[in-house]
Chain A
């Protein structure tokens, strides 16, 4: 149970970073931490103690335990989606830096009301 709680704590650490940091790059890192904690969570859901990789081997004995392969497939997809989001965020961050000459979120405040 402890590992699930730690995973949730990692999620909250990321959320705290996104909500409190002023630097754009640190906000992006916070989002990445949140995403990694979820990937970790998915892998832990699929894990069975003593389980092996889910490749069926007919020659071995029948009572082999396999880990759940579906969360692994999901994590692969989630990593790719996370890559796209992070790449776009960083591209926008570079453009913002070129326009405003700062990474401070408090100084980037044209839009109000």
Chain B
């Protein structure tokens, strides 16, 4: 099974290079290629997670065996967390790929869109499976460069401006990450992650490792758009075509921001108390400020984009609480509970935020606007869109029995058990404000009275409805992951690869 790992990069990359050829020869087929390839990878990722659970698969690129226990060459590693991330990336990638088939008809240059889309998926899969620091940087650049181009895809004034902002801040972030990698290589003389973690976990914490960690927080914080590094996200995520917004908000900021941050801080470094305080503080700030900025927005996609910042704040706060408890040598079980909540919320967020952006895309597709003031009464003419968006709204605001409720509940319970009463209170308040802002969306867009000339609006094509319906079903089904029995198969392998469950 180890030999299947490179397929996660090879298939989307191969499709990206095949599309320009096939587009000339058989123009009707190329649209379906990305979705088909990604569906195969989704099945493969599920198979790896269920069959391998807590084990770690390693593929040595080029067959270079370690010499005297020093790894040479690049290793591709799939453990529990990587397998879960692969499932999420390929799931949202598959559904966004299907959704894009009718949605992109109004744009010119569809073939370029699908090429860039496949490249982005290839880059994200690569970031998740790689076990080599510089290789991670290369895959990260593949995915972000294609996302820069995709944000500017409509090439109107707003999209170009958003893309330029995104590129400059993303470029600074990449260079900060590269600088941190250079210092890491200088200090440890290796780029293999497990090798570095052997060296750094034993060595005492000194100025060099703290310097590296601060650079990594700034770099990946910029990529994940945590406050105070958030300025690019609302522009970029609201300007992109809707399937791409779903990919950017749903998976990109997680795969190249949060995942990389958690992977490096839990598995590579010995995290000190001060660093974990900084991470928790950034998380809490994102959670609170993100939602306050969101509630005043009238552009649907912009409102959703600000909520992405706020919900990522939950994930980082939960991870930060786990780090504080581990650094102080407190109760391990609370740390595990907190991290479980954080990761669970991350997986849930990619499903419901992906769905919300697809809903916004459908509204824009059917009515031609996404300004909440110009909409109204769409539940009569767009039944599928309005029903699915209601599910997603309840899910993100944490209403049972949707999945968002369970992950927020786990985070809040962990915060209370770890005696972070103030943070638990903030989490509850932010959840209530989230509910308020989504009631605003429902009230102005879907309920209310239909605007003049609104009766001509037709429901979106079948393939777009299909993606949305699958996602709203997942919003309900994923809450089962909190139940003991199912939890051990799907959720705990991911936690286990960050904090070892056995002591």
Q: Residues of A with Cβ closer than 8 Å to B?
A: 11, 15, 18, 24, 27, 31, 34-35, 38, 41-42, 45, 70-71, 74, 77-78, 81, 84-85, 88-89, 92-93, 95-96, 99-100, 108-111, 113
Contacts and interface: CB of A to CB of B under 8 A. Distances in A.
Given A42-B182, A74-B134, A34 B161 contact: no
B185 interface: yes
Given A74-B134, A100-B157, A111-B235, A89 B171 contact: yes
B172 A18 contact: yes
Contacts of A45: 182, 185-186
Interface string B180-208: 00100110000100000000000000000
Interface of B is mostly: helix
Given A99-B160, A108-B161, A77 B168 contact: no
Given A34-B171, A41-B182, A88-B145, 19 more contacts: A15-B172, A18-B172, A31-B175, A71-B185, A81-B145, A84-B141, A85-B145, A85-B171, A88-B148, A92-B152, A92-B163, A93-B164, A95-B160, A108-B161, A111-B158, A111-B161, A111-B239, A113-B297, A113-B302
Contact of A96 (B160, B172, B175, B302): B160
Main secondary structure of the interface of A (DSSP, over half): helix
B486 interface: no
A35 B155 contact: no
Contact of B161 (A15, A27, A85, A110): A110
Contacts of A31: 168, 171-172, 175
Contacts of A110: 157-158, 161
B138 interface: yes
B296 interface: yes
A79 to B, nearest CB: 12
Contacts of B156: 99
B162 interface: yes
B167 A92 contact: yes
Interface string B275-308: 0000000000000000000001100001000000
A62 to B, nearest CB: 19
Nearest to A15: B172
A92 B141 CA distance: 17
Q: Which of A24, A27, A99 has the most CB of B within 10 A?
A: A99
Interface of B: 134, 138, 141, 145, 148-149, 152, 155-158, 160-165, 167-168, 171-172, 174-175, 178-179, 182, 185-186, 191, 235, 239, 296-297, 302
Contacts of B145: 81, 84-85, 88
A88 B168 CA distance: 11
Contacts of A89: 164, 167-168, 171
A24 B162 CA distance: 13
Contact of A92 (B157, B158, B164, B297): B164
29 contacts: A18-B172, A24-B164, A31-B168, A31-B171, A31-B172, A34-B171, A34-B172, A38-B179, A38-B182, A41-B179, A41-B182, A45-B182, A81-B141, A85-B167, A88-B145, A88-B148, A89-B164, A89-B167, A89-B171, A92-B163, A92-B164, A95-B155, A96-B160, A99-B157, A100-B157, A110-B157, A110-B161, A111-B165, A113-B296
A111 B159 CA distance: 9
Contacts of A85: 141, 145, 167, 171, 174
B132 to A, nearest CB: 11
B160 A11 contact: no
Given A34-B172, A71-B185, A88 B161 contact: no
